[in-house]
Each structure stands twice: as structure tokens, then as C-alpha cells.
Homo-oligomer: A and B are copies of this chain.
Amino acid sequence: MGRLNINNINPHVRAAEYAVRGELAVKSEELRAQLNRGDTGLPFDQVISANIGNPQQLDQKPITFFRQVLSLLENPQLLEKEDVLINGLGYKTDVIERAKFLLKHCGSVGAYSASSGVYAIKESIAKFLERRDGFPADPSKIYLSAGASSGVNTLLHILAESPKSGVLVPIPQYPLYTATLAVLNATCVPYYLDESKAWGTDLEAIRSSYEKAKAEGVDVRCIVIINPGNPTGASLSEADVRAVIDFASKEQLVIMADEVYQTNVFIGQFHSFKGVLRKMQQENPGKYDGVELASLHSVSKGMVGECGHRGGYFELVGFDAEKAKDAAAAEGRKPDEFYCMRLLEATGVCVVPGSGFGQKEGTLHFRTTFLAPGTEWVSRITKFHQEFMDKYR
């Protein structure tokens, strides 16, 4: 056996299952390839992929507006020929305006962007949330992610303090949750949806799962709600949403509201957790101020259906981000971090302290790229260095 084998890899990775992309999906690709090779020995002449919600593989046409805008972002040179775009290719002026707006604020789509996402896009999302909920939304509390899945991954990573950290997850659920908790070696606390009531969310089922886990020593810290449900398609009534928020508030649970199917409502109406929470806060001043809510959404579902493009966000409400920042700052800086911060403040040149890459004890470095145009900025560094050394030597 090789150095790495099935018996000595990360057991938590091995434990994770992701049925939507499991053995059956692999087998279906083999069968499809068999048909494509002209094999006529199979009892069917076409493979139907009903395992994964992948509309554009199943002939749903993408929305033209999005795709025209994207074509301009990928090739901004097209904007130099607006007349050809409009008269020769049927592009509308709103497409061209949107592309110009995005290019102005994002720069090249081939560049790295800020870790939490491009601010102008977060502002667009905040406006959408304000229209949807009728309450203000703060762009700086919105984090862009590669689909909602990567947002869930980030949030669960932060929540999972130890193997005892527990997360309430509806069953049936989308396997992302159980798989990620398995990889993180945290505890999944299942609560069952009620099949006899069209897979309704039943607070008593939640409470009894919660009490049982607590009695077993699990540090339950979060409840996941998938609304509308995947794979059940059930939507929570406003009363259900209120009951969950009230319960989470009393038991101090973070609420993770997976709302990626918010435009796929079959019966009833969609009620966002953010909107209902804000209403409850208005009706009961002070009572629900401590509720911590993360709501997720995505471009993959609904009429947009752009799952291949991996776009999503989560919005945080009620978390302690500022305190975390202060605590980190209070931990103090290493000498090369101090140098680099002074350099930035004095010259506007942003480099990276050597301690970020590692260095031999007793040595100090910084790393600079040499991609910025010109060399004037290099002499700014030289001048700063002399002054810094004169002052601190």
C-alpha cells in the first residue's frame, strides 16, 4: 500500500458523504459515456440526471441580460464598439450601462478582489435586501462567497470550536451540512421534519433534539434552517419563523438561515429570517437584540440558475465582529509588522512582513512584489528605510 491509503487518510474526510455527487452520479456518467460510444445493449437510450438541480444542463436557457453583461466584463474591448454591440448584436443600453458600472467598481475580473468581496456588489445586495425586507441592510456586514456552499463552509469552520460543538440540522437536509460537520469533526444534532405535515418544521421536534443533545454534553450553538427546504420544498410560515427565532433567542443559538431557494416557493410564501427578526425587534424593543443570524443566498437557484458561476453571499446580523477586531489588535505587533505598518503610513506602499512567510529567528524581512508600474515608489521605500533606521537604530 502507498504512503497515503484508505486506512491512514484524514478519517473525518473519509466519514463525509456527499450523496448528490456520490457513487450513483459517477455510475451515471459511465452509462452516458457508454451510450455516446454507440452501445445499444442498455435498456434505455438516454441518461436522465435527476440527482442534482442543474437547470442549464437540462436545457433551461440562461437569462440573456446576465450573459451579455458577463461577455462585456470578460472582454471590455467590446465596449469600444458600442454601435456594433447595439446594431449588429442586439445588446441593449441597460446591458452596456451595467457592464460599465461593474468594470468601474470591480476593475478587471482577472484581478484578485477584497477578501469579503467587491464593495459595490455588496451595496447592490444591500439594496436588494432593503427592497425585499423593508429594513436597512449594511453592505459591510455582507460577505461574498463562491456559491452559498462556500459560505456555509466558512461559517461552520468558525462555529466548530471542539468535537462537542453542536449544530442543529434538519433531516432530511442538503448533505453539505452533515458532510462539512463530519470533516470538521463537530457534532451534527439532527431534528426531524414532519413528513406527515408536508415536511413541516416542528418546534417541539427541535426542542427535544436540543434537550437530548444538551443532556449528552453537547455544546449546541447553532440551528440551521433550510427555507424553503431542500430536498423537501416546504416553506416555513411566518409563525414558524417567529417560533424558531424566539427559541434561538432564549437558548442563545446562532441561526443559520439557508434561503437559497427563496424564489422557489410552491405553497405559501417566503418569509426571510432577517425580515421577521427585524419585525420582532420592532415589536419588542430590546428583547431580540442579542439574536445572531447569518442568512445565505446564491445565484444558483430560482430563475437565475447560474450554478456554474459560483456566486453567493451571507449577511451577518447581531455578531460581535468589532470586539474580535479589538482583541486581535491588542495582541500587539511583531517588529517587522511594526516596520511595515509605519512604511504604509509614511509612503502608501503596502508590503508583507517576513513573519507572514516565516523567517529564521533573529532575522527580519519584508516581501514586496515588483508589479507596480514605474520605480518612483521604490525610492519612497529607500527614503523611509533610512529615516526609520535613524529613528529606531
Contact check, A71 vs B75: say whether CB atoms are below 8 A apart. yes
Separation of A231 and B366 alpha carbons in the complex (Å): 10
**In the complex, A392 has a CB within 8 A of chain B:** no
- Given that A71-B78, A74-B67 are known contacts, is A359 also in contact with B44, CB under 8 Å in the complex? no
| Count, chain A residues at interface, CB 8 A | 139
Closest chain-B Cβ to A104's Cβ sits at a distance in Å of 12
Contact check, A24 vs B344: say whether CB atoms are below 8 A apart. yes
Which A residues, 348 to 389, have Cβ-Cβ distances below 8 Å to chain B?
348-360, 363, 365, 367-373, 377, 380
Contact check, B46 vs A348: say whether CB atoms are below 8 A apart. yes
Separation of A5 and B324 alpha carbons in the complex (Å): 7
Contact check, A352 vs B320: say whether CB atoms are below 8 A apart. no
Contact check, A110 vs B19: say whether CB atoms are below 8 A apart. no
Contact check, B372 vs A49: say whether CB atoms are below 8 A apart. yes
Closest chain-B Cβ to A128's Cβ sits at a distance in Å of 20
**In the complex, A27 has a CB within 8 A of chain B:** yes
Closest chain-B Cβ to A256's Cβ sits at a distance in Å of 11
Q: Mark A127-170, 1 if CB is under 8 A from B, else 0.
A: 00000000000000000001000000000011111000100010
Closest chain-B Cβ to A71's Cβ sits at a distance in Å of 4
**In the complex, A270 has a CB within 8 A of chain B:** no
Contact check, B50 vs A370: say whether CB atoms are below 8 A apart. yes
**In the complex, A282 has a CB within 8 A of chain B:** no
Beyond the given A3-B290, A51-B350, A56-B110, please list 8 additional residue pairs across the A-B interface where CB-CB is below 8 A. Answer: A1-B320, A50-B349, A67-B74, A71-B78, A111-B308, A169-B358, A172-B357, A175-B357
